[in-house]
Structures are given as structure tokens and as C-alpha cells.
Amino acid sequence: MLTEQQLIEALQPIKDPDLNKSITETSGVREVKIDGDNVSLKIALVQTGTAEQMQLQQEIVGKVKEAGAASVGLRFEELSSEEVEAHGGKQTAEGAGSLLSENNDTTFIAVSSGKGGVGKSTVTVNLATSMAREGKKVGIIDADIYGFSVPDMMGIEERPQVVGETIYPVERYGVKVISMGFFVEDNAPVVWRGPMLGKMLNNFFNEVEWGDLDYLILDLPPGTGDVALDIHTMLPECKELIVTTPHATAAFVAARAGAMAIKTHHEILGVVENMAYFESQLTGEKEYVFGTGGGERLSEELKTEIVGRIPLGQPTINEEDFAPSVYEKDHPIGQVYEEMAKRLIEKT
């Protein structure tokens, strides 16, 4: 039969990611209950509800089962501020600069899709700039870490300033932006595994000085992989927009992203049907290049509404104020985004 001492020894290699010390050294093993080969543990960490905690949870279960347990029950709590300071650390999740603190009033909107190429990032940057034009304080986290594109779309060439351990986002068109694209050289590929991505996302929330925001819009990677799952775990109160084209297959795949939002109790604000049609400048006639009906079918399946139909088009390119994907307010498509922004502000 397992003993408490055997379990403590099994947990010694497990380190609190914020202190880089064993959870046995930090008094992070709060409770140990053994019922035959069933084990229940309460673990205290500097921060809970993070991507690192999810990784740590898997490691703990693995170590305890290696020691002989058949099942492992886990509960987590946070170390006290005195305990953290005693071990040379600091609590950041509850700090004033953290978007994940309980007293933060920012509304989170995740923009997701089932597949790439449907214009999710274009929707993100234009929704953000349109909300800023309505007087809202808006930020963007470009969480599509493998396929980051927001800085280029908004014509951002400078990089965030770093003062001490604090990162200051770049601001353009009244929108504060942080992206993996700021931290790689010459458009290099990001060759990272899931836990490393989760840590970078956690840094975007906790180590960036966002100031007061009304809205933070997250450009998620397509599909339902590690990064999307981390976001759903970090932000239980997040709202979500699902982007699709009118094509039946795009809508079918987008339903998976919607299903993930529902299962993680995110509120779906609505469906955005991008590339809904092409309107000829010569005749004014609309051509439905990608067909019709995809947005309607998706909204019916997810029991929500279509909050915007965005036509095919391209912004006016201004070489002096270059931003290849941002529509001006008086552009016909810019007006569509303005109406969508107003609609979403009313809903939130």
C-alpha cells in the first residue's frame, strides 16, 4: 500500500514554474489522502488557472501513478503572498497589470474559425479599429502564434518597449497590439511545442502593461488545438465570434470551433460571414463567389445570429499611412465593420 512518504518523494521532481523550486520545498503539497490505491492531493502554486498549471497537473498525475496509484484526484489553490515572498517570488496573476486578475473589467472577445484562410485576422483588426473609432479602449492579442499576421495587417513596424520585466504594447489606430510577430526575426517560423506556447500566452496576459481596456480581442489560431484550448481554460468568461465563409465546407468545419466554445461555456456572440459576396463597382450587382447559405446554417446549428456579412474587397492603400488590411471608416466595407462593432458593443 502507498504511504504518504512515498508520495512526497514521488512529487519532489515537480517544480512550481514561477519559483523554479520543488512543490515539496515550497510547502505546496497541502493535503495527501490515500484510500487503497486511490490518491487525492491538494497542491498550492504561485498561480492557478494557467497553461503551466495544466502541464503540471499532467506531470503530477504521471509521477503519482508511477508510484503505484490507480487514480489521482487533484485540487489547486494559491500560495499566500507571504509564502511566495519567502521563496523569492512574486504573485503576478493578481497584480494590477494582469488581465487575468479577478477585479479586471475587460470584456474578452475571441475570434475563431474552424480552418485557415477565411479572413479571421482581417475581421479581428477591423473590428478592433472600428470599436476604437467608437471611443472604446481596445487591445489585440495575436494568439495565432504559428500564423501571426496582425502587425503586418495593421502596418506596424516598431516593436514593443520592454522596461524591466514589463512589456508595453504597440499602439496603432487607437488599438494596443501584442503579437508573437514582435519577438521573432525576419518572419522566422515558430517551432515550439504546446507548453511553450502556453507560457508565451500567459506572458501576454500577465507581463504586458495594457492599462485600462474596455475590450481585448484575441485572434485565435484556426481549429481546436493547444492554443485555442489554453485560451478557453484561461478565460472562462470569454465571448466568442465564429468566422466562416458562405461555402458549405467552411461552415461545417467552423461548427467544431463553435462546439468547443459551447463545451467550455464561452458565450457565442454570433457568426461573421466573411467573403459573403463580391459587389461590382461598375454595375453594383452582387456575385456570390463562394456560394450562399453557409453563415445561416452555422448560426442555426450554434443557435446564434449572423452579426456581420463582409463582402470581398480590398482597403484603399495609402503609402504614407500603410496598413494593407485596415478599412477606412468611410470605405463601404469599413462601414460594414462599423455597424458590426456598434452591434457587438450593444450586445456586450
- Predicted confidence (pLDDT) per residue in 20-49, tens digit: 899 999 999 999 999 988 999 999 999 876
Contact 101, 94 (CB under 8 A): yes
Per-residue pLDDT, 95: 43
State the residue for C-alpha cell 478592433.
Answer: 128
Per-residue pLDDT, 117: 86
Task: Catalogue all structural domains in the chain, each as residue range(s) with its CATH number.
Answer: 4-86 (3.30.300.130), 107-347 (3.40.50.300)
In the structure grid, which three cell numbers stand for residue 10, read together? 514521488
Measuring CA to CA, which residue among 104, 108, 113 is closest to residue 147?
113
More confident residue, 282 or 273: 273
Q: How many CA atoms lie within 13 A of 93 on its CB side?
A: 22
Tens digit of each residue's pLDDT (9 = 90 or more) over 5-19: 999 999 999 999 889
Q: How many CA atoms lie within 13 A of 207 on its CB side?
A: 16
Rounded CA-CA distance 26/39 in Å is: 21
Three-state secondary structure call for residue 162: strand
Rounded CA-CA distance 292/135 in Å is: 34
> What is the bridge-based pairing of β-strands 38-45 and 29-35?
antiparallel
Q: Is residue 92 over pLDDT 70?
A: no
Q: What is the mean pLDDT of the chain?
A: 86
Contact 150, 125 (CB under 8 A): yes
Q: What does the pLDDT average to over 122-150?
A: 93
Environment class of residue 34 by beta-carbon count within 10 Å: exposed (0-12), middle (13-18) or buried (19+)? Answer: middle
Alpha-carbon distances, residue 48 vs 99, 163, 179, 203 (angstroms): 14, 26, 24, 14
Highest mean pLDDT among 6-10, 80-84, 318-322: 6-10
Instruction: For residue 273, name the pLDDT band (cuts at 50, 70, 90).
Output: very high
More confident residue, 289 or 223: 289
Q: Is residue 162 over pLDDT 90?
A: no
